Structure 1
Amino acid sequence: MLPPRDPDEIIKARGADTRPANRFDRLHSERAHDGWDMVEDTRLLRTEVTDEHPRRILTRNTSPDVPFDRSINPYRGCEHGCIYCFARPSHAYWGLSPGLDFETKLTAKPDAAKLLAAEIARPGYRVAPIAFGTNTDPYQPVEAKRRIMPELWQVLLDWNHPASLVTRGQIVLRDLPLLAEMAARQLVHVGVSITTLDAGLARSMEPRAPAPATRLKMIREMAAAGIQVRVMVAPVIPVLTEPEIERILAAAREAGATNASMIPLRLPREVAPLFRDWLDRHRPDAAAHVMNRVRAMRGGRDNDPRFGSRMRGEGIEADLMMKRFRLARKRLGYAETTPPLDSGRFGQPPRSGDQLSLF
């Protein structure tokens, strides 16, 4: 059971409503009335950003469920506040709550570009695409002021290093010239996630993320700039967004997306109780139906963390969902595969004083 909401906080446009303890906490606290009827000062819950200065910026993984072995996350936590976000449990490692803390207590890495340049310049570094947006969105609202991403793109351009990006943040359009130049060299693919075309549902479920129409605009403008764009119908939520699979694919295709992917809703660790609480607050009439359908795809549980099934689900429900997606993708003319990124141009950029090549 989740703890009660703090009555002294004014919460606006947040996905979570409270701060459940993280799984590493040994102690927990509870509010209790002290018998005095005094009026407390209420306060608007605002986003806090703390700088982090790690030694390295590349994160490695060996997961068989993802098509990359290295990634960069310029931020911890995400102000978009998507209630279903699978990354929420990562905040527990820092002693913070996967609930409201994940949306309001962020960490930024302002030295990311310098660290990246140093890492890829190391002797023995082997080039392969770097994935952005694998945990939290690098184009969440705080990026408008922090401007970490354009510095990272510039390093990648200088070194001709391939990369991929997953985002739903419209701030990405600010960096369109950099992305277009990378695309011209076959150095970047971009994925834009669209969960629903229903603006009202999106507002309650993804309170600080751009509206669905804005995400279609992002696809349209990036495609016009020559960037390969993949629409990510993710996560697909049974009952709530599942009926929209074909409509989302059609709208994204019309906007210029050339590839498409789909992932059913998954609710790891602390995300499950947070999502159930959101259902009770925003869709109480459908809550039981949604969770029954989720469990039908997850072996009778809220979540199935096994490699091989966590990204797809299993059983009749999951199979039918995937068949619908594949049929619509084929009918709309999406490409089956994404053109490979070019790793052959990778190399140290010219430095001042270097001798120029004669050929």
Structure 2
Amino acid sequence: MNPFARELLRWYDHHGRKDLPWQHPRDAYRVWLSEIMLQQTQVVTVIGYFQRFVQRLPTLASLAAADEDTVLALWSGLGYYRRARFLHRAAQLCVERHGGELPRDLDALMALPGIGRSTAGAILAQAYGLRHPILDGNVKRVLTRYHGIAGHPGESAVEKRLWIHADGHTPAERTADYTQAIMDLGATLCIRSKPACLLCPHATTCVAHRDGLTAMLPTAKPGKKIPTRALAMLLLRDAQGRILLEKRGPQGVWSGLWSLPEATDAEAAPAAALRLARVGQPDALPAFTHVFSHYRLDVSPILFDHAAPLAAVADRDDRRWCSPGELAALGLPAPVRTLLDNLPEISP
């Protein structure tokens, strides 16, 4: 076994995370689900979502058979909802093409929606014990510092070098433990700012630590100012407390989720609301900002209590009046769910 892996596994045996819910049992479905959830999301956040998800959909077959609303409702709040739709479609393809199982072949796994090389490697290594390297964000940070590699890790040339190192360090023995260990190292010690280098098993051989480069590596992505958009969200609530929701189309952010009708701004809100229901005076709720990866969204929520549904705007597949008790079963964007959970009592 190479020295990097040997020292890492020695550290893992004493300090690694061995009680994560997807490790017991560590089967392919649970590993896959955890890997998708952990993309751009921290472990502490994922644990509760993972447990709720597998309680409702405990097997790949149950995920494949579920309807999209169920999947998105379980995912609601995790963000990056395309991950959930890819997960759902990949499960269906596994049933159609692979006998209801995740394949054990790297190329076959990577052919499924939402599974890239690193995710495929993590599944094969952790679920099946097969020797495949991984290169998620934590591993990139560890290897960039250990080898002193300058340049943004997202650049193809830098990423290619990192894959070579990832492969070279991955041992043939205890591959599952090694895969978890290097992710743990990046998540707990070799963190983005103020890494705990003195506790690291590689402190004496890490180039960044030796040369005082830990604050500069990995090289940051070139800055880019993100634009800001603004809109008004319309909360039409009838006398029974039902809220009018609309299902978003297949394109854009929050695609496929249930959300609130929108207007360009607060001034346009009353006219937009009148096209959907008979409404009285609007009540402006506290504005908020939601930040996406590529833009900021400034939202002005406008509440219309005692809205009376129009006969011409009946319930349909992409529009419905929902009682508070029905909201839990729907896929809602996190800020919309928070907004609905904190609505004031119906005005007299």
Pick the TM interval, shorter chain: under 0.3
Q: State the TM-score, normalized to the length of structure 2.
A: 0.28
Q: State the TM-score, normalized to the length of structure 1.
A: 0.27
Going by fraction, where is helix more abundant, 1 or 2?
2
Higher Cα Rg, which structure: 2
